[in-house]
Structure 1
């Protein structure tokens, strides 16, 4: 072996097979490693770490853990350090095995394949380990370990020297950690630096372990310097650390070293074991174990959580419980802290995909795991610089002259990081190491200012507006629904209102029609009674026309009232009947008034204004009677609006008004003198037509329609 190989031993220590014995429990069945030596007996807890509690309930599960390496005579390494183990465990039914020895007494056989390395290269190893373990179980013969030997040789060739830091981050679930815990990710980050006792609990062993490694990877450079995390007694990092005296700003490693990074969160008195079995609880209760970060799948620890933890992190329900009151105030996030971590959480959530939670969904930097680590590195450097500036202010002031202060910094920037947290951090071991190996004026290199101090960026404002609009979506839908319902109600109300108005109108119209009909009935009844009285009076009068009078047969006609609604048609029918029956031979001597004997036709006198005409009696019928019309008098504005037809008995005394009968008609109802339908060339006056001038016609515009439809004959 060359000097280079001696200086840098292979990263792979060995590969082994762990089986579960029904009486002895988990035990190492096979080991292959460097120098051909079985090193499994150095770690009595390795079988329990590789077969976690509850792993039998999963078809395939993974476990990450740490091992304390203590050198023995003949070993290549001479200093105690930390080794890292990763196991893949599966199970198979016993009846499917091709070869089954006497030790197999249960229905299932459970085994795990373990790889032990000097660095936590879990990501690259996991993929190969998964393939080999499945193939080892598919061959159904655990006595054939050729594939296990091949795996070891292949891994030694792949990882024969140091690897890059980015390879150590491969396979971690940092995005899922931020997605699950949101702002509480920053709480866990700041809690890790305060060196409390942190217990992770969960039923999924792989997620439980990878979440802890993801949290540790947020401290820049710490994932490469975990050589002291397996035991509280290890402190090699501080023993070999030197203060940086030079700085190359273009070199990230030089900058981190000058800023005192990585912070040794697992130095002397600390312990880190991602999966801790119950058999290792004794180590947690030792006096030299001051703080730790451990994980467990056994619920017995939950029943004694105050005894074993200051902070409990439950992976199953994504909760962080601060059990020790001493850490409550220091772990309160400031406004700047909350805004800063929310911006990272939203970046992860915006690019989250359930199918591939390690990929931001596209080829972008924002929201990726590198983006998260870069933001936390920026935050931690600003925090360290602000703490140094706070120490500077306390050492040399106040008051300080403006020349002694940073011109771009107002007040104490450490307050944006929570002064309670800073005061608590100054009591820890990693702060002691940081303060010992760093310069007093780090704030001249990195600005002592919270990364989220000041106003929001344009992207942050847009994101917050978008988020608020999304939060208002339910309220907007409710408001729209309310407006829609209200509009329907208003429309229905107005519709009902107008329907009621129309119903009221219809009711009022029906009521008025009923009133009109009732009034007409009353008027008709009153007229009928009045006509009957006049008829009885006419019968009792000596001037009444009787059936035994000497009036000629053409004079013994019945004078009836027209029932037609048209006055002209009624008068026409009366005139036609008179023409058919014939009038007397005598003609009227005057167009206005005529005196005749027993055979003369009735005289028409438009100047006379007798009282209302009484209907004549007839031996055959009693004609209906119309109410009396108003007479035209000398004082009337239209004296010739009416005409009076007098029916005289030639044998009666014309001077006696009681012996005469008359009917009063409107002038426009009188048939014209010249009959167009008359073919006779004789004078129409012989037929009893009375010439009426059109100037005598005055329509009854001022009377009702019922009055216009009435006509006396």
Structure 2
């Protein structure tokens, strides 16, 4: 691992010393490092933490993993002010580059050492940085494997927080990742971006610790193009999965086929990307990207979905904006999905409220539920059981079948998949609870009450007979409930679209 501190667009110091042709030994492959370590708009915040990926210098086509801790200090506080300090404040970042994806553990260590470095108020004292390198190498072995490595990789990556912030839509984002589309996450800080995106990735079995080694958009584009030719070369549908599997760099999968090949062969993952890299986006097959620069969100033609995370200091508002309306319908949560997401959410809320250490509702417990959901999904897709597919969404399953990761997964024999029964864990007869659940999801997931009332109208018409009330009475009931909720939040009341019928 190397670590260094950056000033403006320059690397000032590194240990061990970099040996590239650029300034301070910066290699060409890492020319984006300064813009990643000191993110866009850093002068607007006192501190931030950024997670990013860079191409490996040692193994072409592979990634290395970066964590940067940025801090800002008043120039007047410095005990030893160098000649190049000409502004009222100084911004620097301490960076760690690792061959293995230990974002959470390295973040915890790096934040402590960065604070200690800044408290010296003398940036010429770099011994603390060299010592950090030695300590990190002693603590984290790059050859770590097995359950301990998995546990370590997930340390301080909170899926609980993801469900609290996004509620049922956390499952929607999970399903969206499976479809290999171009998705942009934008937030005011790099830390908020990293926490959100890595939490979603960590819900996929073994993806965080084993499935990101070929993921970065910074990997040589020509190498990507060589791996992307299968789509054009293969004509026979049945052979596509076999050919993609042959070219798939993730060869070491477990008996269930994990990790999935979500981020290989032209599908990139970058939890933070600077504005200098925007021109690379059209060259990717699909991507999951994070950014803090609002200019990314203005380039809507580059993305299928934009997830905006707005933090006003006390509340976090999340908006999922689909530029492709057909895709929005494809990933819409089914009734069974909503039941499952609600089950997980309630367990999380119960555990966090009780502040206990029970397994149910924990991050590890959520990962187990998501694994079971994923196994049921692939078994259903593979068997094409007509009574089971609709519970996951017919359009969603059909769309997923066309992706690279699905074709690779089902084209290989994984011994433990043969015992997985098709079907959704929460498929059952529809009832009153489902109407309330879908209504709550609609309120949290859309802008404007008109769409909410449209959901209510549909629910009322479809479910009136099954729940023993006319559709109009159901509609009136929910409209009144929404008006009370809106009034309590200080928002404008929604007028009922129709008067209750006397049927």
8 Å contact from structure 2 (residues 3, 97) kept in 1: yes
8 Å contact from structure 1 (residues 270, 292) kept in 2: yes
TM-score by length of 2: 0.74
Aligned to 2:90: 109
Q: Report the secondary structure of 1:31's partner residue.
A: strand
Q: Tell me: CA distance 1:241–1:123, structure 2 relative to 1, closer, same or farther (3 Å).
A: closer
Q: Tell me: CA distance 1:172–1:258, structure 2 relative to 1, closer, same or farther (3 Å).
A: same
Aligned to 1:5: none
Q: Deviations over 1:38-78 (max 9, x none)?
A: 7632301111111112222222210000001143xxxxxx4
8 Å contact from structure 2 (residues 380, 422) kept in 1: yes
Following TM superposition, by how much is the alpha carbon of 1:267 offset from its aligned partner in structure 2, in angstroms?
1.2
Aligned to 1:485: none
Aligned to 2:461: none
Residue 202 of structure 2 is aligned to residue 217 of structure 1: yes
Of 274, 278, 282, 1:281 maps to 278
Q: Tell me: CA distance 1:89–1:444, structure 2 relative to 1, closer, same or farther (3 Å).
A: closer
Q: Report the secondary structure of 1:61's partner residue.
A: strand
Task: Give me the whole-angstrom Cα distance separating, in 2, the residues matched to 1:145 and 1:324.
Answer: 50
Following TM superposition, by how much is the alpha carbon of 1:352 offset from its aligned partner in structure 2, in angstroms?
3.2
Identify, as 1 or 2, the structure richer in helix. Answer: 2
Q: Deviations over 1:58-105 (max 9, x none)?
A: 22210000001143xxxxxx4431000001111111122122222111
- Count of matched residue pairs: 404
8 Å contact from structure 1 (residues 219, 262) kept in 2: yes
Aligned to 2:362: 368
Q: Unpaired runs of 5+ in structure 2? A: 228-243, 311-316, 441-476, 485-503
Following TM superposition, by how much is the alpha carbon of 1:242 offset from its aligned partner in structure 2, in angstroms?
9.1
Aligned to 2:7: 19
Q: Deviations over 1:299-324 (max 9, x none)?
A: 1122222x221011111121111111
8 Å contact from structure 2 (residues 184, 303) kept in 1: yes
Of 259, 263, 279, 2:260 maps to 263
Aligned to 2:164: 179
Pairwise mapping of residues 654-693 of structure 1 onto structure 2 (< 5 A)? none
Residue 386 of structure 2 is aligned to residue 386 of structure 1: no
Give the CA RMSD over aligned residues.
3.0
Following TM superposition, by how much is the alpha carbon of 1:412 offset from its aligned partner in structure 2, in angstroms?
3.0
Task: Give me the whole-angstrom Cα distance separating, in 2, the residues matched to 1:112 and 1:438.
Answer: 46
Q: Report the secondary structure of 1:315's partner residue.
A: strand
Task: Give me the whole-angstrom Cα distance separating, in 1, the residues matched to 2:289 and 2:175.
Answer: 16
Following TM superposition, by how much is the alpha carbon of 1:36 offset from its aligned partner in structure 2, in angstroms?
7.8
Of 273, 276, 287, 1:292 maps to 287
8 Å contact from structure 2 (residues 6, 94) kept in 1: yes
Following TM superposition, by how much is the alpha carbon of 1:443 offset from its aligned partner in structure 2, in angstroms?
6.6
Task: Give me the whole-angstrom Cα distance separating, in 2, the residues matched to 1:90 and 1:127.
Answer: 15
Task: Give me the whole-angstrom Cα distance separating, in 2, the residues matched to 1:179 and 1:193.
Answer: 22
Q: Report the secondary structure of 1:351's partner residue.
A: helix
Pairwise mapping of residues 406-485 of structure 1 onto structure 2 (< 5 A)? 411-438=386-413, 444-454=418-428
Q: Unpaired runs of 5+ in structure 1? A: 1-12, 21-25, 72-77, 245-255, 354-359, 394-410, 479-713
Q: Deviations over 1:577-605 (max 9, x none)?
A: xxxxxxxxxxxxxxxxxxxxxxxxxxxxx
Aligned to 1:644: none
Residue 26 of structure 2 is aligned to residue 40 of structure 1: yes
Task: Give me the whole-angstrom Cα distance separating, in 1, the residues matched to 2:380 and 2:134.
Answer: 50
8 Å contact from structure 2 (residues 255, 417) kept in 1: no
8 Å contact from structure 1 (residues 385, 442) kept in 2: no
Aligned to 2:184: 199
Task: Give me the whole-angstrom Cα distance separating, in 2, the residues matched to 1:212 and 1:242.
Answer: 21
Task: Give me the whole-angstrom Cα distance separating, in 1, the residues matched to 2:246 and 2:80.
Answer: 53
- The structure whose RCO (Cα within 8 Å, separation 6+) is larger is 2
Task: Give me the whole-angstrom Cα distance separating, in 1, the residues matched to 2:76 and 2:418.
Answer: 71
Task: Give me the whole-angstrom Cα distance separating, in 2, the residues matched to 1:241 and 1:70.
Answer: 17
TM-score by length of 1: 0.53
Q: Deviations over 1:408-442 (max 9, x none)?
A: xxx53122111111111121111221122136x97
Of 371, 378, 399, 1:377 maps to 371
Q: Tell me: CA distance 1:243–1:200, structure 2 relative to 1, closer, same or farther (3 Å).
A: closer
Q: Deviations over 1:523-563 (max 9, x none)?
A: xxxxxxxxxxxxxxxxxxxxxxxxxxxxxxxxxxxxxxxxx
8 Å contact from structure 2 (residues 157, 202) kept in 1: no
8 Å contact from structure 1 (residues 123, 168) kept in 2: yes
Aligned to 1:61: 48
Task: Give me the whole-angstrom Cα distance separating, in 1, the residues matched to 2:279 and 2:272.
Answer: 14
Following TM superposition, by how much is the alpha carbon of 1:225 offset from its aligned partner in structure 2, in angstroms?
2.1
Following TM superposition, by how much is the alpha carbon of 1:285 offset from its aligned partner in structure 2, in angstroms?
2.2
Following TM superposition, by how much is the alpha carbon of 1:377 offset from its aligned partner in structure 2, in angstroms?
0.4
Q: Report the secondary structure of 2:409's partner residue.
A: helix
8 Å contact from structure 2 (residues 19, 25) kept in 1: no
Task: Give me the whole-angstrom Cα distance separating, in 1, the residues matched to 2:173 and 2:360.
Answer: 22
Aligned to 1:96: 77
8 Å contact from structure 2 (residues 248, 264) kept in 1: no
Q: Tell me: CA distance 1:88–1:444, structure 2 relative to 1, closer, same or farther (3 Å).
A: closer
Following TM superposition, by how much is the alpha carbon of 1:366 offset from its aligned partner in structure 2, in angstroms?
1.7
Task: Give me the whole-angstrom Cα distance separating, in 1, the residues matched to 2:361 and 2:416.
Answer: 29
8 Å contact from structure 1 (residues 17, 29) kept in 2: yes
Task: Give me the whole-angstrom Cα distance separating, in 1, the residues matched to 2:398 and 2:260.
Answer: 17
Aligned to 2:130: 149
Task: Give me the whole-angstrom Cα distance separating, in 2, the residues matched to 1:387 and 1:454.
Answer: 19
Task: Give me the whole-angstrom Cα distance separating, in 2, the residues matched to 1:55 and 1:206.
Answer: 12
8 Å contact from structure 2 (residues 271, 290) kept in 1: yes
Aligned to 1:346: 346
Aligned to 1:321: 321
Q: Tell me: CA distance 1:14–1:443, structure 2 relative to 1, closer, same or farther (3 Å).
A: closer
Aligned to 1:133: 114
Aligned to 2:471: none
Task: Give me the whole-angstrom Cα distance separating, in 2, the residues matched to 1:329 and 1:49.
Answer: 35
Q: Deviations over 1:157-202 (max 9, x none)?
A: 1112315101100111311111111111111111101000000011
Q: Report the secondary structure of 1:275's partner residue.
A: coil
Task: Give me the whole-angstrom Cα distance separating, in 1, the residues matched to 2:403 and 2:153.
Answer: 27
